[in-house]
C-alpha cells in the first residue's frame, strides 16, 4: 500500500511542460507563455486625444470661462484613424476625435462638453493645462519593455495586451490533449435507450469537463465494453492523439484482468493500492512508443472524481507549465464531527461558509453524484485521524472552478 504522497510523487516524476508551440492569439487563452514578449513599439504608439473635442494651444484659451468664452476658428477635422493635414496655428483649434493623433504643436484637448461644438469656429468655455485630454505615447509601456514575462497565464486581459503590441501569434506551452475513456459493459451514452442493468456514462463527461477546467484540451472516448478487443482498439486509436489518457472502471475484481492484459500489451502500467478514501485501486503508467502517461481510475464516480482531483489534475497543471500545480488548502472549522477512514487519507464532501477570518466547513451527508454536486470543497483528513469533533480546524480544498 502506498500513501497518497508517495503515489503523487510517482505520477509527477515524469510529468513535464509540453514542448513550446506557436499558436494564434486566441488559442493561447488558458496557456502559459513559453517566452517573454517585448513591446515592438510604445503603448500608446503616439500622442492621442483622450476624448472628442478640440486640440488647442493652452495660452489661446487661458481666459476662457462659461461667461467669457474664447472663440477660435476651426482649421481641420481629424477623426480617429486620420492625421491632421497641418500643424496647429496660433489662435486656432482643430476638431479631433478620441484616439486620433495630436496635431503638431497642439498642447491639450478641450473636451466637446466644454465648448459649443462649433464647426467653422468654436467657443471654448474653459481653460485647460498643458497635456490635458492627451494620452501620451508610451504612457502604458515603453518600446522594448517586457509586456508579459515567460510563464504568464494568458486570459482576456493578456490577450488584449498582446494584440495591442501586434502579436498575432504567441509561443506557449500548449494545452495537453487528454482523452478520457470510460470502461464498463453496463455503460451507455446519455440519452440512449436504457434497459435494466444499463447506466449512462457519467464519469466520461465529468472527467472530460474536469480536465477542461484544469486547462486541458479534453475529449471523451467510449464508453467501451469490458472486452479485450474493444479496449485495445479504442486505446490504440486514442494513443496517437493524446498527451495523457485517463480511464475509469475495470480496475476492481471482476474486470481487472481484461484491463490488465490489454494495458500490459501497450506499455507498462502499475496497479497499486493507495491509502486513500474513496478509491484505493489506482493504476498509473506509460503506453506506446511515446510513453503516453495513463491513469486508470476507479469506476465509482465519487472515487473517480477524488482520484482526478488528487492525482490527475496536478499532472495536467504540470504539463501546462504551472509552478503551482496543487489546489491550495485552507483551514476551516468543522460544524459537525467527521471520521477518517483508518489507514487512509480521507476526502469528504464539504460545504464552505462563514467569512474569511472564520471559515466554517460543513460535511455533506449525501453521497454519490448528488453529494458531489452539493460539495464546493473536499475536506482532507490526514491518515489515521480517527474521529474529529465539531469545532476542530481541518484542511479544506476548495473546488474553485478555475
By CB under 6 A, name the binding residues for ligand AMP.
182, 184, 186-187, 199, 201-204, 248-252, 255, 298-301
Strand bridging mode 330-334 / 358-363: parallel
Polymer length of the chain: 402
Q: Shortest distance, CB of residue 254 to Mg ion, whole angstroms?
A: 7
d(CA 196, CA 188) in angstroms, rounded, equals 12
Tell whether residue 223 is a contact of Mg ion (CB under 5 A): no
Question: Which is closer to ligand AMP, CB of 99 or CB of 200?
Answer: 200
Q: Shortest distance, CB of residue 248 to ligand AMP, whole angstroms?
A: 5
Closest residue to ligand AMP, Cβ-based?
299
CB 182 within 8 A of CB 201: yes
Collapse the DSSP code of 283 into the 3-class scheme (helix H, G, I; strand E, B; otherwise coil) and give the result. Answer: strand
Q: Shortest distance, CB of residue 288 to ligand AMP, whole angstroms?
A: 23
Cα distances (angstroms) measured from residue 204 to each of 224, 240, 269: 11, 19, 21
Question: Which is closer to ligand AMP, CB of 112 or CB of 232?
Answer: 232
Binder of residue 363, out of Mg ion, ligand AMP, none (CB less than 5 to 8 A by kind):
none
Q: Which of 293, 299, 340, 350 binds Mg ion (CB under 5 A)?
A: 299
Write 300-303 long-range contacts (CB < 8 A, 24+). 301/202, 301/203, 301/206, 301/368, 301/369, 301/372, 302/278, 302/367, 302/368, 302/369, 302/371, 302/372, 303/278, 303/279
Tell whether residue 249 is a contact of Mg ion (CB under 5 A): yes
Q: Which stretch binds Mg ion (CB under 5 A): 110-118, 239-247, 298-306, 321-329?
A: 298-306
d(CA 202, CA 193) in angstroms, rounded, equals 15
What does the radius of gyration of the chain's CA atoms come to, in whole angstroms?
31
Binder of residue 111, out of Mg ion, ligand AMP, none (CB less than 5 to 8 A by kind):
none
Question: Which is closer to ligand AMP, CB of 187 or CB of 344?
Answer: 187
State the number of CA atoms in the 13 A half-sphere of 87 facing the CB. Answer: 6
Binder of residue 385, out of ligand AMP, Mg ion, none (CB less than 5 to 8 A by kind):
none
Q: How many CB atoms lie within 10 A of CB 161?
A: 18
Tell whether residue 267 is a contact of Mg ion (CB under 5 A): no
Q: Shortest distance, CB of residue 299 to ligand AMP, whole angstroms?
A: 2
Helical residues (DSSP H) of 76-201, grouped into ranges: 156-164
Tell me the per-residue interface mask from 172 to 211 with Mg ion, x by CB under 5 A, - otherwise: ------------x---------------------------
Question: Which is closer to ligand AMP, CB of 140 or CB of 186?
Answer: 186
Distance of CA 71 to the CA centre of its chain: 55
Binder of residue 300, out of Mg ion, ligand AMP, none (CB less than 5 to 8 A by kind):
ligand AMP
Binder of residue 38, out of ligand AMP, Mg ion, none (CB less than 5 to 8 A by kind):
none
d(CA 16, CA 291) in angstroms, rounded, equals 13
State the number of CA atoms in the 13 A half-sphere of 354 facing the CB. Answer: 14
Q: Which stretch binds Mg ion (CB under 5 A): 25-33, 158-166, 244-252, 306-314?
A: 244-252
Binder of residue 174, out of ligand AMP, Mg ion, none (CB less than 5 to 8 A by kind):
none
383 burial via Cβ count (<10 Å: 0-12, 13-18, 19+): middle
Q: Name the site residues for Mg ion (rule: CB under 5 A).
A: 184, 249, 299
Amino acid at each position: 500500500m502506498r500513501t497518497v504522497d508517495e503515489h503523487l510523487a510517482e505520477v509527477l516524476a515524469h510529468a513535464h511542460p509540453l514542448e513550446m508551440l506557436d499558436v494564434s492569439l486566441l488559442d493561447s487563452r488558458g496557456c502559459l507563455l513559453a517566452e517573454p514578449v517585448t513591446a515592438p513599439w510604445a503603448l500608446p504608439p503616439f500622442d492621442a486625444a483622450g476624448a472628442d473635442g478640440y486640440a488647442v494651444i493652452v495660452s489661446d484659451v487661458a481666459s476662457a470661462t462659461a461667461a467669457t468664452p474664447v472663440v477660435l476658428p476651426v482649421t481641420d477635422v481629424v477623426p480617429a484613424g486620420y492625421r491632421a493635414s497641418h500643424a496647429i496655428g496660433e489662435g486656432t483649434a482643430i476638431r479631433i476625435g478620441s484616439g486620433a493623433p495630436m496635431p503638431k504643436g497642439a498642447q491639450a484637448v478641450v473636451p466637446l462638453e466644454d465648448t459649443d461644438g462649433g464647426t467653422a469656429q468654436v467657443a471654448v468655455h474653459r481653460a485647460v493645462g498643458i497635456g490635458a485630454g492627451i494620452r501620451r505615447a508610451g504612457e502604458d509601456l515603453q518600446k522594448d519593455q517586457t509586456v508579459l514575462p515567460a510563464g504568464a497565464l494568458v486570459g482576456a486581459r493578456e490577450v488584449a495586451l498582446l494584440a495591442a503590441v501586434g502579436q498575432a501569434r504567441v509561443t506557449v506551452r500548449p494545452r495537453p490533449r487528454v482523452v478520457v475513456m470510460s470502461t464498463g459493459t453496463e455503460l451507455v451514452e446519455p440519452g440512449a435507450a436504457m434497459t435494466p442493468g444499463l447506466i449512462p456514462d457519467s464519469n466520461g463527461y465529468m472527467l472530460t469537463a474536469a480536465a477542461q477546467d484544469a486547462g486541458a484540451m479534453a475529449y471523451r472516448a467510449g464508453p467501451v465494453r469490458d472486452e479485450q478487443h474493444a479496449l485495445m482498439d479504442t486505446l490504440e486509436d486514442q494513443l496517437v492523439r493524446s498527451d495523457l489518457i485517463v480511464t475509469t472502471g475495470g480496475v476492481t475484481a471482476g474486470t481487472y484482468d481484461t484491463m490488465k492484459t490489454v494495458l500490459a500489451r501497450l506499455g507498462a502500467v502499475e496497479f497499486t493500492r493507495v491509502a486513500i478514501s474513496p478509491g484505493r485501486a489506482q493504476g498509473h503508467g506509460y503506453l506506446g512508443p511515446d510513453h503516453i502517461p495513463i491513469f486508470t481510475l476507479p469506476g465509482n464516480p465519487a472515487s473517480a472524481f477524488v482520484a482526478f482531483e488528487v492525482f490527475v489534475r496536478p499532472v495536467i497543471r504540470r504539463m501546462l507549465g504551472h509552478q503551482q500545480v496543487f489546489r491550495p488548502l485552507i483551514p476551516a472549522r468543522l460544524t459537525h464531527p467527521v471520521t477518517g477512514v483508518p489507514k487512509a487519507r480521507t476526502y469528504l464532501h464539504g460545504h464552505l461558509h462563514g467569512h474569511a477570518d472564520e471559515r466554517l466547513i460543513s460535511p455533506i451527508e449525501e453521497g454519490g453524484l448528488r453529494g458531489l454536486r452539493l460539495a464546493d470543497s473536499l475536506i482532507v483528513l490526514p491518515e489515521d485521524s480517527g474521529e474529529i469533533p465539531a469545532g476542530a480546524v481541518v484542511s479544506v480544498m476548495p473546488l474553485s472552478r478555475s
